[in-house]
Amino acid sequence: MIIAIASGKGGTGKTTVSASLVSSWKRPVLAVDMDVEEPNLHLFLKPESVSSEAAYLEVPVLDKTLCKQCGACAELCQFKALSLMGAHLLVFPDLCHGCGGCMRICPEGALQKGQRELGAVETGVTPGGIPCLTGRLRIGEAMSPPLMGKLRQRMHAQAAKESLDIIIDAPPGVSCPAMTAVQDADVVVLVTEPTPFGLHDLRLAWKAFRPLGKPMGVVINRAGLGDDRVHAFCREKGLPLLAEIPFRRDIAEHYAKGGILAQLDPGLRATFEDLAERLERMGAEVNHA
């Protein structure tokens, strides 16, 4: 079972919910931070014995002695990673999306396999024995989905080998990284807050993820801060309200110190244990359908 924790914007408490859900999950689980541009799940789960492995994308390298400047590769590439300028073929590896089409289409074999470093995939285990995976994008790297693809491969392999459920802390927003993170999920949890901005971005997230046909539910963070328009939206769209986290000073202080909310008091522990049970039931219904 794969649960993705997403949000229409940053700062709603997505990572807070992810960390508490991981700590409340009854079955063996793998925690995955796919917010590779700004990973911070580790600040709460505090994995130990962390190892890091560089991840690479296959990109073309030009052998000028073989190139006949036919322009076939430049015409094929929709991302302008190759450009024929007069009698010179220019290669821009930072623009390459790694499809490999240019190398296959070159009649002279002038484009060879090279690589560009995307970032790293980190592995670790929490003090409580929960395995963790984290993607960390290289500074200056413009594209996160290729690194997320490497992270997904590792995630699926480890989960299958160890019979683990998966909880994904997805990137915020509704762009390509967020869509990449939720595509494998059985259930998507949308974390929001009861404010005009929270409602606006919840609408965006619902509209973006709805075509995927996955069950979705909502967690309201900072409940009591704003108004009831998020509740009305959930009722209107048939989105189950899975949990509400109250707007309290002690919660903010605990979070700021890197604490897991489910461990703050019995009430919050019960909230997240109930959330975990509801998500397990939703996932089971999907897998049995």
Residues 24-68: tens digit of each pLDDT: 999 999 999 999 999 999 999 999 999 999 999 999 999 999 999
DSSP assignment of 158-205: HHHHHT-EEEEEPPSSSSHHHHHHHTT-SEEEEEE-SSHHHHHHHHHH
In the chain, where does the domain assigned CATH 3.30.70.20 lie? 64-109
In sequence order, the β-bridge partners of residue 261 are none
The pLDDT of 129-139, averaged and rounded, is 97
d(CA 79, CA 96): 7
Res 164: pLDDT: 98
pLDDT digits (tens, 9 = 90+) for 141-195: 989 999 999 999 999 999 999 999 999 999 999 999 999 999 999 999 999 999 9
Find, among 253, 289, 287, 279, the residue nearest to 29 by Cα. Answer: 279
Q: Decide: helix, strand or coil at residue 228.
A: coil
Res 149: pLDDT: 95
The arrangement of secondary structure in 2-55+119-288, i.e. its CATH architecture, is 3-Layer(aba) Sandwich (3.40)
The pLDDT of 246-265, averaged and rounded, is 95
∠32-135-128 over CA atoms, to 5°?
40
d(CA 59, CA 81): 9
Q: What is the dihedral of CA 220, 124, 186, 152, to 10 degrees?
A: 120
Pairing state of beta strands 111-125 and 48-62? antiparallel
Task: Count other Cβ atoms within 10 Å, centred on residue 235.
Answer: 11
> What band does 231 get if pLDDT is binned at 50, 70 and 90?
very high
d(CA 212, CA 51): 34
Terminal Cα-to-Cα distance of the chain (whole angstroms): 14
d(CA 157, CA 48): 21
Pairing state of beta strands 111-125 and 131-137? antiparallel
d(CA 259, CA 132): 17
In the chain, where does the domain assigned CATH 3.40.50.300 lie? 2-55+119-288
Q: Indicate the helix (H) or strand (E) that contains 8.
A: none
pLDDT digits (tens, 9 = 90+) for 194-220: 999 999 999 999 999 999 999 999 999
Fold classification of 64-109 (topology level): Alpha-Beta Plaits (3.30.70)
CA 20, distance to chain mean position in Å, is 17
The pLDDT of 247-271, averaged and rounded, is 96
d(CA 277, CA 149): 29
The pLDDT of 244-248, averaged and rounded, is 96
d(CA 246, CA 220): 8
Res 226: pLDDT: 84
Res 284: pLDDT: 86
Res 289: pLDDT: 61
> What band does 272 get if pLDDT is binned at 50, 70 and 90?
very high
> What band does 285 get if pLDDT is binned at 50, 70 and 90?
confident
pLDDT at residue 82 greater than cutoff 90 = yes
Amino acid (1-letter code) at residue 151: L
User: Mean pLDDT of all residues in the chain?
Assistant: 95
Task: Count other Cβ atoms within 10 Å, centred on residue 99.
Answer: 14
Answer yes or no: are the C-beta atoms of 181 and 4 closer than 8 Å: yes
DSSP 25: -
The pTM (predicted TM-score) of the whole model is 0.93
pLDDT at residue 287 greater than cutoff 80 = no
